[in-house]
Amino acid sequence: MREMLKRSLGAKSTTVFWQFWNPIFGYYLGKYVYRPARSLGLPNAVATITTFCVSGAIHDLAATAVSLKAVFVCTPAFFFMALGLLLSRSFNMDLSGLPWIVRAVFHMVYLGTCVALALVLKNAGVLY
């Protein structure tokens, strides 16, 4: 777990971050969501957003099961994470020249901002 966090948080880009973050779950999402979406002819961006939203929905279902009340925060948060990933790819973001701690803070801010946006939308009544 420690090595997974160290590699993912210190990744040189968001693409590499997601490759290291929970690779087993990522493998199954790629196999059962992303690849089928691409084989249906969906563009890469749409397949990526779809995959992230499915992952968010799975997280929402797990949170709902644990809390015994409906949770709908992860799906929109993961939607924003997908947008961040696509934006970083379009700008060819490369953090490899920065110290590990700067890259780690960047990735944590990226994740935190996506969750915060979802919570703001939820609290504003936009999501429900």
CA angle 95, 98, 103 (to 5 degrees): 65
Mean pLDDT of 56-84: 96
Of all residues in the chain, what percent carry a pLDDT higher than 90?
Answer: 93
The answer to whether the CB of 73 falls within 8 A of the CB of 114 is no
As a whole number, the mean pLDDT across the chain is 96
pLDDT at position 32: 98
pLDDT at position 128: 67
pLDDT at position 27: 96
Q: Tell me which residue has tokens 């777990």.
A: 1
The answer to whether the CB of 8 falls within 8 A of the CB of 20 is yes
Sign of CA dihedral 79, 61, 69, 111: negative
| Per-residue CA distances from 30 to 8, 22, 51, 101 (Å) | 18, 12, 8, 29
Mean pLDDT of 109-114: 98
| CA distance linking residue 21 with residue 8, whole number of Å | 6
Residue 80 has pLDDT above 90, yes or no: yes
pLDDT at position 14: 96
pTM: 0.94
